[in-house]
Amino acid sequence: MRTFSIDTLGCKVNQYESQQIRQFLEFHGLTQIKAENKPELCIINTCCVTHTASAKSRQSIHKAQKAHPDAIFVICGCLAYVNIGEINHLGQPNVFIIRNRSEFVGTLIRILAGSTSINSNLTTENIKIKAENTIKIKDKSPNLTELPHLSAFRGQTRAFLKVQDGCDGSCSYCIIPKARPVLCSKPLEQVLEEAQALCNAGHKEIVITGIFLGAFGRDTVKRKKWPTVENEKLCELLEKLAKIPSLKRIRLSSIEPGDVTERLMDTFCSNPKIMPHIHLSIQSGSDSIIKKMCRQYKLEDVYKSVELINGRLDSPAITCDLIVGFPGETDTDFEKTVQLAKGIKFAKMHIFSFSPRKGTPAYDMKPKVPMRIVKERSQILRSLDKQLGIQFRQQFLGQQQVILTESCDGDRQAGPSGRTERYFIVRLKPQCSGVGENQLVKVELTENKDDGMLGRFAGLVR
């Protein structure tokens, strides 16, 4: 076996883990190629957070099987881990479904050793491979050390770094605690080593991510069981990362309103490398819906968190996730979500239609919101999202900002582009010369568009 491909669906955690898989396989002599070039090993890293995500994962599997009937397939990710029956029909001799993440490395070693037989009881303990690059497995518990630390995040400027995994929360709509029930956090020293390696590979910005990032260093996501309200462990991690000289930007992927504390804001204010951009997982602007979702906060907590962010940071970008059409969501409930968005003036909103997931309490909740109404409400929020985005960016028109360039493909119709500290996209003129990818560039913001801003090159940041 010489070649492999990886198809990744879902969140930043999945994208990080796919990079680990890539690095593991390359270490063992395989070459990553595009799926259309007939790989011998096809990895499908699935997602199941919504019905649509599950459907896309299954479609990717079927498409790859049809295109490469002779390949070996490894199905991993949350859809495989959660075992809700949606891929049970894939029990073929050339298909390995990773039901338990503790089996993943062992399965790959077995495949690389030349065996294609399925063993549902496969564990890392009963695999004995004598090879030059044998990986030593200490135990079979789900942890973050089974796959290698990343030395580079291939294919994009910003590197994702997973520092936390697992969730034991009770949100009524979420299936992730069934897919990743065991909480674990990377040791601080390991995070710093990996961050330094990513910087050595040329990455200037690192996005710190996790399944429940605010629970870094905790053994539960349930705040009432924490020894203190403020999670000093996450703050200590950010403060240590900020001391890496070659790391220019640090960004958090997503946190909850309860994670926004004075201690966290102190950390942001004391370390300018941490971007003034906070993404909040909010889901609804109605207390009755938030309660049905079994979230760990009330609407007043959301407003307090936002007030704290705005009071401590300079023109911060506050972005969020919102779910539309949760069972029982009335017109009044939805209007409260609209008012929340208008009141906070989110810089960006990620809008999701409620997706009933088998095995969650919300799956059987009633009354269901008709799909027609869900679509109407989603469109209202998406239109509002565009308006609020334009409104947020307008305050920076005529100012200088710094972007980290992500795209310089040489297209005559598209110049270099990148994200500002506050995460919105800035595009430069195609004629802008001397600007390559992964450069920190000063730009003067000249025009506010629907999907970002246009800028004029003002110099490189040395």
Examine the domain organization and report whether 31 and 170 are in the same domain: no
- Which residue type sits at 198? L
What is the Cα–Cα distance from 249 to 273, expressed in whole angstroms? 5
What is the Cα–Cα distance from 241 to 16, expressed in whole angstroms? 18
- Which residue type sits at 5? S
Mean pLDDT of the 428-451 span: 89
Examine the domain organization and report whether 83 and 217 are in the same domain: no
Per-residue pLDDT tens for 152-183? 999 999 999 999 999 999 999 999 999 999 99
Examine the domain organization and report whether 163 and 47 are in the same domain: no
**Cα→Cα distances 404→408, 429, 437, Å:** 11, 15, 8
Specify the higher pLDDT residue, 117 or 385. Answer: 385
Mean pLDDT of the 310-337 span: 98
**pLDDT for residue 42:** 96
CB-based contact 35:71 (threshold 8 Å): no
Per-residue pLDDT tens for 9-33? 999 999 999 999 999 999 999 999 9
* Average pLDDT of the residues of the chain: 90
CB-based contact 173:219 (threshold 8 Å): no
Residue 302 lies in a domain: yes
Q: 335 exposed, middle or buried (CB, 10 Å; 0-12, 13-18, 19+)?
A: middle
Residue 138 lies in a domain: no
Examine the domain organization and report whether 120 and 172 are in the same domain: no
Examine the domain organization and report whether 105 and 235 are in the same domain: no
**pLDDT for residue 431:** 66
Is the pLDDT score of 141 beyond 50? no
| pTM summary value | 0.91
Per-residue pLDDT tens for 62-105? 999 999 999 999 999 999 999 777 787 776 788 999 888 888 89
CATH assignment of the domain containing 414: 2.40.50
Q: 148 exposed, middle or buried (CB, 10 Å; 0-12, 13-18, 19+)?
A: middle
Per-residue pLDDT tens for 231-243? 999 999 999 999 9
Q: Where are the beta strands (DSSP E) in 261-399?
A: 277-283, 317-324, 348-353
Question: Whose CA is closest to 284, among 423, 381, 387, 357?
Answer: 381
Question: Quick one: DSSP state of residue 136?
Answer: P
Residue 139 lies in a domain: no
Boundaries of domain holding 72: 3-126
β-pairing, 317-324 vs 348-353, is parallel
Examine the domain organization and report whether 370 and 421 are in the same domain: no
Scanning the structure block, which residue is given the tokens 């370390």? 271
**pLDDT for residue 409:** 54
Scanning the structure block, which residue is given the tokens 């990377």? 186
Question: Quick one: DSSP state of residue 71?
Answer: S
Helix, coil or strand: residue 441: strand
In terms of residues, how long is the chain? 462
Per-residue pLDDT tens for 256-308? 999 999 999 999 999 999 999 999 999 999 999 999 999 999 999 999 999 99
Question: Whose CA is closest to 73, among 89, 58, 54, 94?
Answer: 94
**pLDDT for residue 88:** 73
Examine the domain organization and report whether 374 and 421 are in the same domain: no
Specify the higher pLDDT residue, 329 or 83. Answer: 329
Is the pLDDT score of 363 beyond 90? yes
Examine the domain organization and report whether 389 and 431 are in the same domain: no
CB-based contact 170:220 (threshold 8 Å): no
Residue 136 lies in a domain: no
Examine the domain organization and report whether 230 and 361 are in the same domain: yes
